[in-house]
Amino acid sequence: MPQEEKAADVARREEGYTLYDLVSMADSAELDRLDDETLLRTSPHILSVFLSRLDVDTQRQILRRFSPEQVSEIVSEMDSEQSAELVSEMREHRAVSVLNEMEPDDAADIVRELEDDDRDRLLKGMQKSQPEAAEDVLELLEYPEDTAGAIMNPHVATLRPEMTIDEAIGAVRKMRDEYENIYYLYVVDSDDVLQGVVSMRALLLAPKGSRVGHIMRTGLIGLLAPTMDKEIVAHIMADTNFHTLPVVDSDGELLGIITHDDVIDIMRDENTEDIQKMAGAGADEGIFDPIFSSIRQRSPWLLVNLCTAFVASAVVGFFDSDIAVLPVLAVFMPIIAGIGGNTGAQTLAVTVRSIALGEVEMFDMSRVCLRETWKGFLNGLLIGLLGACLAMAVTRRWDFSAIVWVAMLINMSLGGFMGSFIPFTLKKFGLDPASGSSIFATGCTDTGGFFIFLGLGALFLL
């Protein structure tokens, strides 16, 4: 073995496998050559990404090399649907042990995705082995999937206001292995009603002899209700810049916390969902999903796209005799339609984002549509002029160039209008503003662009 390869092999054993190493071994059917010690040093995140590319049987074969605690770290990094499929195929004792090792919110995400029979079977196993863990999961499952209650962690580091600073610091030392993250210490009374919060910095710098009640912050902001939508939770955390937010019931009892990593997952999932929905792909579709699953999710919107394309082609067919007389019309048709479509796509991206972030509401619809139409018009003045100059260079006809300018101006204005009107309209009818909006907007600008350009050409050039 060359010296460089020996050095790389030593480094790999010390740091663990890279994703490239694992994928290369899988592609070469050499997974049986995986070294246990190197595998154990590999990052759980890398392992989760790698396992998501494999079938369930191969996933189980690799995970047999890990303890239940280590498996829980890896599986909790995976998509909840994939994790649920994997856990459901494990032996019951093994699956229950893995779920028991997880944080309650992670375990609840997986259990929620299980089939009814598997869910009942594994929950019964958890109740027998660790009743407290099972109870935490069952409480989280009572909340709707997209709410704060469903994603909160009920394990919270708490203090009592009457504690001295030394007592509080001693309590924190005992908590270090019990809680996921300790950014803030929540102060509760004997009924677990939230009284205030203490940061670790404030606790460590507090004067000797003080009590927790003297240094805690009251008048808290960012309190969450368990039924609050998780997108609103993300907005509140972004606005407050806190690492964690407390979830309380109507009586002020502390139920759990939501941490910044939970919110990052929310924002990533929501952004991914919006981007994919805009193009007509499945909201939670992944690149390595089964082929027929992807086809099933994409086909309905492709059929809608096919219908809009037929409408656009019907417009072209209506002007076929005019195109036969002046074939150069056909040359510039894609330009008129394409520039309008791109204008609509730009407007869609900004409008969908603004709606998602709560920057605009339904009462802003008229104002936003007018502004975006005006933006499209002003862009059309410049871009249309450049298009007209190109048309003049090609055809040497000023009248044809003027038609190109006017058609681009109108279609870009239409693109700006439809790019804002469609998301608002979808929201008005209770639909996701991103759902297929790109397909609808492109259909409008294609059909409108063809009709405007060919109509003006037939009216003024023939």
Residue 308: give its domain's CATH number.
1.10.357.20
Task: Give a yes or no: residue 152 inside a domain.
Answer: no
Task: Give a yes or no: residue 104 inside a domain.
Answer: yes
196: pLDDT confidence band, cut at 50, 70 and 90?
A: very high
Structure tokens, 454 = 């060919």
* Cβ-count burial 202-235 (b if 16+ within 10 Å, e if not): bbeebeeeebbbebbeeebebebbbebebbebbb
Task: Give a yes or no: residue 28 inside a domain.
Answer: yes
Q: Are residues 332 and 433 in the same domain?
A: yes
Lowest mean pLDDT segment, chosen from 28-32, 90-94, 388-392? 28-32
**pLDDT at 264 > cutoff 70:** yes
pLDDT at position 146:
87
Q: In angstroms, what CA-CA distances link 365 with 178, 293, 360, 424, 425?
A: 49, 36, 8, 7, 9
Average pLDDT over every residue of 282-289? 74
User: Domain end: 111, 142, 173, which one?
Assistant: 142
Task: Give a yes or no: residue 236 inside a domain.
Answer: yes
Average pLDDT over every residue of 105-126? 93
Percent of the chain at pLDDT above 90?
Answer: 63
- Report the chain's mean pLDDT, rounded to a whole number: 89
Burial of 418 (0-12, 13-18, 19+ CB in 10 A): buried
Structure tokens, 65 = 């090399």
**Separation between Cα atoms, residue 165 and residue 207, nearest integer Å:** 8
Q: Are residues 50 and 81 in the same domain?
A: yes
Q: Which of 250, 278, 317, 298 is nearest to 440 (CA)?
A: 278
pLDDT at position 56:
92
pLDDT at position 209:
82
Burial of 27 (0-12, 13-18, 19+ CB in 10 A): exposed
Lowest mean pLDDT segment, chosen from 195-204, 283-292, 373-382? 283-292
Q: Are residues 253 and 361 in the same domain?
A: no
Please give the backbone phi and psi of residue 357, each rounded to the nearest 5 degrees, phi first.
-85, 0
**Separation between Cα atoms, residue 186 and residue 194, nearest integer Å:** 7
The answer to whether 259 and 243 have CB atoms below 8 angstroms apart is yes
Tell me which DSSP letter residue 207 carries: P
Tens of pLDDT, residue by residue over 149-172, are 999 999 888 999 999 999 998 888
Structure tokens, 285 = 């579709």
pLDDT at position 262:
84
Q: Are residues 295 and 399 in the same domain?
A: yes
pLDDT at position 275:
80
Structure tokens, 372 = 């975006």
Q: Are residues 138 and 212 in the same domain?
A: no
Q: Name the more confident of 74 and 276.
A: 74
**pLDDT at 7 > cutoff 50:** no
Q: Is the pTM of this model over 0.85?
A: no
**Separation between Cα atoms, residue 229 and residue 235, nearest integer Å:** 10
Tens of pLDDT, residue by residue over 27-56, are 888 888 888 899 999 999 999 999 998 999
Task: Give a yes or no: residue 285 inside a domain.
Answer: no
Average pLDDT over every residue of 85-107? 93
Q: In this structure, what CATH number is given to the domain that contains residue 51?
A: 1.25.60.10
Q: Which of 361, 357, 364, 360 is nearest to 239 (CA)?
A: 357
**pLDDT at 111 > cutoff 90:** yes
Q: Are residues 52 and 189 in the same domain?
A: no
pLDDT at position 309:
92
Q: Are residues 262 and 373 in the same domain?
A: no
User: Domain end: 220, 240, 271, which one?
Assistant: 271
Q: Are residues 416 and 363 in the same domain?
A: yes
Burial of 429 (0-12, 13-18, 19+ CB in 10 A): exposed
Task: Give a yes or no: residue 238 inside a domain.
Answer: yes
327: pLDDT confidence band, cut at 50, 70 and 90?
A: very high
Number of domains within the chain: 3
**pLDDT at 5 > cutoff 60:** no
Task: Give a yes or no: residue 2 inside a domain.
Answer: no
Task: Give a yes or no: residue 101 inside a domain.
Answer: yes
**pLDDT at 279 > cutoff 80:** no
pLDDT at position 426:
92
User: Domain end: 99, 118, 142, which one?
Assistant: 142
Q: Are residues 438 and 306 in the same domain?
A: yes
pLDDT at position 6:
47
Going by C-beta distance under 8 Å and a sequence separation of 6 or more, which residues neighbour residue 203?
165, 168, 169, 172, 185, 212, 215
pLDDT at position 147:
93
Tens of pLDDT, residue by residue over 101-110, are 998 999 999 9
**Separation between Cα atoms, residue 399 and residue 217, nearest integer Å:** 73
Q: Are residues 38 and 137 in the same domain?
A: yes
User: Which domain, by its residues, includes 163?
Assistant: 158-271
**pLDDT at 283 > cutoff 80:** no
The answer to whether 139 and 132 have CB atoms below 8 angstroms apart is no
The answer to whether 110 and 89 have CB atoms below 8 angstroms apart is no
Tell me which DSSP letter residue 198 carries: E
88: pLDDT confidence band, cut at 50, 70 and 90?
A: very high
**pLDDT at 1 > cutoff 80:** no
Q: Are residues 318 and 209 in the same domain?
A: no
CA-angle at 52, arms to 147 and 438, nearest 5°: 60
Q: Are residues 128 and 191 in the same domain?
A: no
276: pLDDT confidence band, cut at 50, 70 and 90?
A: confident
pLDDT at position 2:
55
Query: 3-class DSSP state for residue 252?
Result: coil
Average pLDDT over every residue of 264-288? 77
pLDDT at position 432:
86
Q: Which of 233, 203, 235, 207 is nearest to 217 (CA)?
A: 203
Tens of pLDDT, residue by residue over 330-388, are 999 999 999 999 999 999 999 998 888 778 999 999 999 999 999 999 999 999 999 99
180: pLDDT confidence band, cut at 50, 70 and 90?
A: low
**pLDDT at 205 > cutoff 80:** yes
Q: Centre a 10 Å sphere on the Cβ of residue 179 and count the other Cβ atoms it contains.
A: 16
